[in-house]
C-alpha cells in the first residue's frame, strides 16, 4: 500500500490547463485541436464575452456571455442549428438518432423518447444504480481493507452497467469489455474528424485513426443490432427502456419508431449515457480525494440520510451535499467540454455580423472557469451550488447538459445515477491521493483524465 503523501493544505487548485496568451496560428490551432481540443482557445476566451478567430481563412466565434448564449440556444430561433461537423463525428456510430438528427426527424424522436427520461419514469432504476455501485465496492473489497484502485475503469464499468441494464436488462453487460474498447477506439479518431470537417475535407479522406474508428463503429452497431433484432423477433412484456422505446409512438404522427432508428437511439443512449456520467464520477471522486473536508461532509450526509441502508428514490432530494459536489465537479471538468452550432442565415451577435455557415463554438470548459462569471474560478468549492449561492448564477454560466431545445434528454437520469453511486461509495469507502502526478483533462468528445486516476481506497470501518 502506498501511503498518500499530499495533504489538502499542500495542494493548490485542482489541475487545469493554462490557455495560450494569444490566438494560435491556423497550423498550431489544428495541431492543438488534434491533440486536445480544449487547448485551442487563448486566455481571452476565459475573460471576454465573445472571441473571434480566423482559422484557414474563415471566422469562427467562441461565445461565452450569458446574454449571447441565450440567443444561440433560444428555442424560437431558426438561425442557430447543430454544426454539420457533429454529423460527421457521430453519424457512423449513432446514425440518425436523437443526438444527430435535425428538423422533423429529430422532433418526432425527441417527443417519443422524452417520457422515458422523466424522473417519475426513472424511479425503478435506483436499485440498478445501487447494485452497480455495490459491485464496484465488492471488487475493491476483495483487495483488502485498504488498496490502490484505478478509478476510471471502475466508474466506466459501473456507469455502463447502469445504462445497459436500464436499456436491455436481460442482455445487460453483454460484450461490455468489447463495447468499451470499441468506444474508446471510435472516440480516439474524433479530433481528426473535427479538424477535417473544419477544413471541409471530403468525408472519405483517410486520417490516421479513421479505419479503426469506422471498424469500431461497425462492430458496436452489429453487436447491438443483433440484440435488438432478437427482441423484435421474441417480444417480451419486460419493462425496460428498449421495450418502452419500441412501444413509444411519436405523439403527433402516432407512428412507432422504425427498427433502424431504435438501433441508432439505443447506441446513442448507451454511449452518451455512460461516457458522460463516468467522467462526472471519476472527476468528482478525484476532487474528493483532494478535499477531505468535503469528503467528510459527503460521508456524514450519506450516513445521516440513509442510516447506512441502500439509497432509495426518497433519499435523493435530501442528498444536497452530494449534488453540490457533483455540480462543482461538472463545473471544473464538464463531461461535454465544447458544443458547437452554425448560423443558417446572416446573423448579428454581440454587435458583430456573421455570414451564413459561420461556426460558433460554445466552450463550456472555459465558460465554467470564466473570470467574469465565477469568483476564484479554478478552485474546488461545492458551496457555489448551495441553495443561496446557486440562485445567483446565470443559467448560462453553468451548462454541463447544454441548453435550449437540444438540452440533454438524460440530465435527470445522469444526476440520479451519479448521486446514487457517489452516495453509496461514500457510505463505504474513503478515498485519498497516492504519489501519482496530477491527472490532466483531455477532450475526446467527453472530458477524460489523460492519465488514469489511481487512488487509495479504504473501507468505512477503517476510514478516518
Ligand atoms: C453527466 C451526464 C451527462 C452530461 C454532462 C450530458 C451532456 C449533454 C449535452 C451537453 C448535450 C447537448 C449537446 C448539444 O447541445 O450539442 C446532451 C445531449 C444529449 N444527451 Fe446527454 N449528457 C449526460 C448524460 C446523458 C444520459 C445519461 C443520456 C441517456 C441515457 C444522455 C443522452 C443524450 C441525448 C440523446 C442527447 C441529444 C438530445 C437532443 O439532441 O435532443 N445524456 N448531453
CA 446–ligand 1 middle distance (angstroms): 11
pLDDT at residue 463 is higher than 70: no
For a mutational test of ligand 1's pocket, the pick from 408, 411, 418, 446, i.e. the residue with the most ligand atoms closer than 8 A to its C-beta, is 408
Q: What angle do CA 298, 271, 315 make, to 5 degrees?
A: 30
The residue among 445, 446, 17, 450 whose CA lies nearest residue 194 is: 445
The pLDDT score that the predictor gives to residue 332 is 98
The residue among 362, 347, 414 whose CA lies nearest residue 86 is: 362
Residues 78-106, mean pLDDT to the nearest whole number: 90
Instruction: Please name the helix (run of DSSP H) or strand (run of DSSP E) that holds residue 342, with its range, or none.
Output: strand 339-343
**This prediction's pTM:** 0.92
CA 98–ligand 1 middle distance (angstroms): 10
The pLDDT score that the predictor gives to residue 164 is 86
For a mutational test of ligand 1's pocket, the pick from 69, 107, 272, 359, i.e. the residue with the most ligand atoms closer than 8 A to its C-beta, is 272
pLDDT at residue 4 is higher than 70: no
pLDDT tens-digit series, residues 197-220: 888 888 888 888 889 999 999 999
Residues 217-238, mean pLDDT to the nearest whole number: 82
Ligand 1 neighbour 38 (Cβ under 6 A): no
pLDDT tens-digit series, residues 53-90: 998 889 999 999 999 999 999 988 889 999 988 888 89
Q: What is the rounded average pLDDT for all residues in the chain?
A: 89
pLDDT tens-digit series, residues 278-321: 999 999 999 999 999 999 999 999 999 999 999 999 999 999 99
52, 59 contact by CB (below 8 A):
yes
Question: DSSP label at 249?
Answer: B
The pLDDT score that the predictor gives to residue 250 is 65
Percent of the chain with pLDDT over 90: 63
pLDDT at residue 7 is higher than 70: no
> CA 37, CA 40: separation in Å to the nearest integer?
6
Ligand 1 neighbour 245 (Cβ under 6 A): no
The pLDDT score that the predictor gives to residue 199 is 83
CA 408–ligand 1 middle distance (angstroms): 4
Q: Closest ligand 1 atom to the C-alpha of 335?
A: 5
The pLDDT score that the predictor gives to residue 251 is 61
Amino acid at each position: 500500500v502506498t501511503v498518500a503523501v499530499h495533504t489538502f493544505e499542500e495542494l493548490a487548485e485542482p489541475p487545469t490547463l493554462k490557455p495560450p496568451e494569444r490566438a494560435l496560428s491556423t497550423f498550431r490551432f489544428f495541431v492543438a485541436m488534434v491533440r486536445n481540443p480544449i487547448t485551442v482557445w487563448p486566455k481571452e476566451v476565459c475573460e471576454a464575452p465573445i472571441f473571434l478567430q480566423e482559422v484557414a481563412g474563415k471566422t469562427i466565434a467562441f461565445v461565452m456571455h450569458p446574454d449571447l448564449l441565450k440567443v444561440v440556444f433560444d428555442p424560437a430561433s431558426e438561425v442557430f442549428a447543430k454544426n454539420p461537423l457533429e454529423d460527421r463525428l457521430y453519424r457512423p456510430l449513432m446514425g440518425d438518432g436523437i443526438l444527430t438528427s435535425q428538423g422533423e426527424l429529430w422532433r418526432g424522436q425527441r417527443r417519443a423518447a422524452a417520457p422515458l427520461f422523466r424522473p417519475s419514469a426513472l424511479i425503478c432504476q435506483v436499485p440498478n444504480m445501487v447494485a452497480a455501485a455495490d459491485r464496484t465496492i465488492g471488487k475493491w473489497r476483495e483487495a483488502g481493507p485498504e488498496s490502490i484502485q484505478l478509478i476510471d475503469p471502475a466508474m466506466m464499468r459501473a456507469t455502463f452497467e447502469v445504462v445497459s441494464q436500464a436499456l436491455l436488462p436481460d442482455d445487460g453487460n453483454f460484450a461490455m469489455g468489447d463495447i468499451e474498447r470499441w468506444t474508446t477506439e471510435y472516440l480516439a479518431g474524433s479530433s481528426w474528424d473535427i479538424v477535417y470537417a473544419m477544413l471541409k475535407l471530403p468525408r472519405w479522406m483517410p486520417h490516421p485513426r479513421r479505419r479503426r474508428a469506422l471498424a469500431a463503429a461497425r462492430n458496436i452497431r452489429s453487436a447491438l443490432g443483433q440484440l435488438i433484432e432478437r427482441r423484435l423477433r421474441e417480444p417480451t412484456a419486460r419493462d425496460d427502456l428498449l421495450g418502452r422505446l419500441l412501444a413509444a409512438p411519436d405523439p403527433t404522427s402516432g407512428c412507432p419508431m422504425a427498427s433502424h432508428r431504435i438501433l441508432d437511439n439505443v447506441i446513442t443512449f448507451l454511449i452518451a449515457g455512460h461516457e458522460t456520467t463516468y467522467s462526472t464520477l471519476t472527476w468528482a471522486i478525484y476532487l474528493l480525494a483532494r478535499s477531505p473536508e468535503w469528503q467528510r461532509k459527503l460521508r456524514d450526509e450519506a450516513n445521516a440520510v440513509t442510516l447506512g441502508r441502500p439509497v432509495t428514490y426518497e433519499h435523493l432530494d435530501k442528498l444536497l451535499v452530494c449534488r453540490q459536489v457533483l455540480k462543482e465537479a461538472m463545473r471544473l471538468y464538464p463531461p461535454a467540454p465544447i458544443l458547437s452550432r452554425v448560423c443558417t442565415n446572416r446573423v448579428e451577435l454581440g454587435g458583430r455580423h456573421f455570414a451564413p455557415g459561420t461556426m460558433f463554438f460554445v466552450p463550456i470548459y472555459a465558460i465554467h472557469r470564466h473570470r467574469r462569471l465565477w469568483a476564484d474560478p479554478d478552485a474546488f468549492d461545492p458551496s457555489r451550488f448551495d441553495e443561496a449561492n446557486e440562485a445567483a448564477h446565470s443559467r448560462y454560466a453553468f451548462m454541463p447538459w447544454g441548453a435550449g431545445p437540444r438540452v440533454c434528454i438524460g440530465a435527470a437520469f445522469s444526476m440520479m445515477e451519479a448521486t446514487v453511486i457517489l452516495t453509496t461509495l461514500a457510505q463505504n469507502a474513503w478515498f485519498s491521493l497516492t504519489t501519482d502526478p496530477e491527472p490532466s483533462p483531455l477532450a475526446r468528445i467527453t472530458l477524460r483524465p489523460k492519465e488514469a486516476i489511481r487512488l487509495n481506497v479504504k473501507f468505512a470501518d477503517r476510514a478516518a
